[in-house]
Structure 1
């Protein structure tokens, strides 16, 4: 099976800082790094490193050729990434000594993906494949409508939270992943409980506490899952790593609970590393790591 990821590709510009700045405060950065990022690219890398076949549908500017090459190195099918006029999307990321982050995004080429390209991509998909998407691109509603018509399963990471995008996707999604803050934003924006949203399975992540699985088949009773105990140095990309591993596990036929637990292990290992897509652990590392 294949995961078709309609996803962002960003250049991540990461500053290590003593603490996240307060309004009006100027800080001297401790270090500067540049790497591959974007929620979409992170998820594609995570899924590929979790042994799934991944086709990425996205766009970069002329300045993003190196990002596409890097994705190819990680085993991602990049033939449906197009080059457009305009800058590649980028993120300014501040990471403090506790590993917490603050991020400013510029969408750039991520908002220039054409509907024709998306249609070309999904026309190659097979029934039972997964469409994976998040909110750093456009065309979510069009993508999920097309995917359902073609018999694909839809996995949706509702981040960064966007109420309009969520409304367009939820009724078509089989699986939705979001963190606790985004879950509250969804409830506030929709005024609905989980049973009314229309998604069969909702995973709510809660950082170091693990998270909750909500399933229609279990009457929406929350099932807690734990996260391995680690010392976090950088939480950037942890949620994307979780989602990529989760969907890869499901695509490979693993049960939901086993896929969630594998994803939690991958995310825990991820937060012990500085960086984003370039440091997402591979499946062998995740399986071999013994957590305290």
Structure 2
């Protein structure tokens, strides 16, 4: 099967800082690096490194050809990435000594993906394939509707969080992944707790407390504990988790097993500095010795 990802593509400029800047503060960075990033890109790379077939649907500017080439190197099908007049999206990321981050995002080409291009890409999908989206591109609800009509498993990673974006896609979703804060924000907006959402599968990630899976049909609730590691950079950990979960499900794993493998991948990810370029591959995850 195939995972289709309507996803962002960014250049991540990562600045090492002694602490996250306060409002109005001028702060000198000790280091700067450029990485391939964007939540969509991270998820595509993670799923590809977890041995899934991934087709990325997105857009870059002429300044982003290097990003498309890098995605190809990492095993992602890039035939449905368009080159548009807008600049490639980018993020400015400050990372402190404890691995916490602060992100400033410019969407650029990620908001210039045509609905025709999405339709053309998904015309090649087959029933049973998965479609994943995040809130870093345009046309999410339209793609979700099309995915539902085509019999795809429609998945949404609710970040950066917007209750309006989630609610627009909600009628077409089979699977929703969000963190604990986002779950609270969605409950405040809709009046529905995660267990009451009209979606077959919901995962709530809870950082050091692990993750929670809720299945609507069976009523099953499963908790998967986190792995204990010393974080260096938490950027991209949630995206890595999502990509690995989808890849595990695509390979026929039960949800708890897919989540456990994804948890290991995310734990390894936070011990590395960077984004898509340092996402662990399946052998890394299987060989890692984690608490």
- TM tier, shorter chain? over 0.9
Within 2, Cα distance between the matches of 1:132 and 1:244?
9
Q: Report the 3-state secondary structure (helix = DSSP H, G, I; strand = E; otherwise coil) of the residue aligned with 2:71.
A: helix
Q: Report the 3-state secondary structure (helix = DSSP H, G, I; strand = E; otherwise coil) of the residue aligned with 2:176.
A: strand
Within 2, Cα distance between the matches of 1:213 and 1:197?
13
- The residue that corresponds to 1:104 in the other structure is 104
- Taking the TM superposition and a 5 Å limit, the aligned residue runs for 1:260-275 are 260-275=259-274
- The residue that corresponds to 2:154 in the other structure is 154
The answer to whether 1:279 aligns with 2:271 is: no
CA RMSD of the aligned region, Å? Answer: 1.0
- The residue that corresponds to 1:12 in the other structure is 12
- Taking the TM superposition and a 5 Å limit, the aligned residue runs for 1:15-26 are 15-26=15-26
Within 1, Cα distance between the matches of 2:251 and 2:97?
37
- Taking the TM superposition and a 5 Å limit, the aligned residue runs for 1:1-292 are 1-219=1-219, 222-292=221-291
Deviation of 1:222 (Å): 4.0
Q: Report the 3-state secondary structure (helix = DSSP H, G, I; strand = E; otherwise coil) of the residue aligned with 1:230.
A: coil
The alignment's TM-score, normalised by the length of structure 2, stands at 0.98
Q: Report the 3-state secondary structure (helix = DSSP H, G, I; strand = E; otherwise coil) of the residue aligned with 2:172.
A: coil
Within 1, Cα distance between the matches of 2:44 and 2:133?
10
Deviation of 1:66 (Å): 0.1
Q: Report the 3-state secondary structure (helix = DSSP H, G, I; strand = E; otherwise coil) of the residue aligned with 2:35.
A: strand
CA offset digits 1:235-275 (Å, max 9, x no partner)? 00000000000001001111101000000000000000000
Within 1, Cα distance between the matches of 2:171 and 2:196?
10
Deviation of 1:214 (Å): 1.4
Q: Report the 3-state secondary structure (helix = DSSP H, G, I; strand = E; otherwise coil) of the residue aligned with 1:274.
A: coil
Deviation of 1:216 (Å): 1.1
Identify which range, 99-108 or 171-180, moves more after superposition.
Answer: 171-180
Q: Report the 3-state secondary structure (helix = DSSP H, G, I; strand = E; otherwise coil) of the residue aligned with 1:199.
A: coil
Within 2, Cα distance between the matches of 1:235 and 1:102?
10
Structure 2 unaligned blocks of 5 or more? none
Deviation of 1:171 (Å): 2.1
Within 1, Cα distance between the matches of 2:270 and 2:41?
17
Q: Report the 3-state secondary structure (helix = DSSP H, G, I; strand = E; otherwise coil) of the residue aligned with 1:78.
A: strand
Within 1, Cα distance between the matches of 2:231 and 2:172?
35
The alignment's TM-score, normalised by the length of structure 1, stands at 0.98
Within 2, Cα distance between the matches of 1:218 and 1:148?
21
Within 2, Cα distance between the matches of 1:108 and 1:102?
19
Q: Is the 8 A contact 1:171 1:197 kept in 2?
A: no
* Structure 1 stretches of 4+ moved >6 Å: none
Q: Is the 8 A contact 2:101 2:234 kept in 1?
A: yes
Within 1, Cα distance between the matches of 2:125 and 2:218?
31
Structure 1 unaligned blocks of 5 or more? none
Deviation of 1:124 (Å): 0.2
Within 1, Cα distance between the matches of 2:63 and 2:137?
18
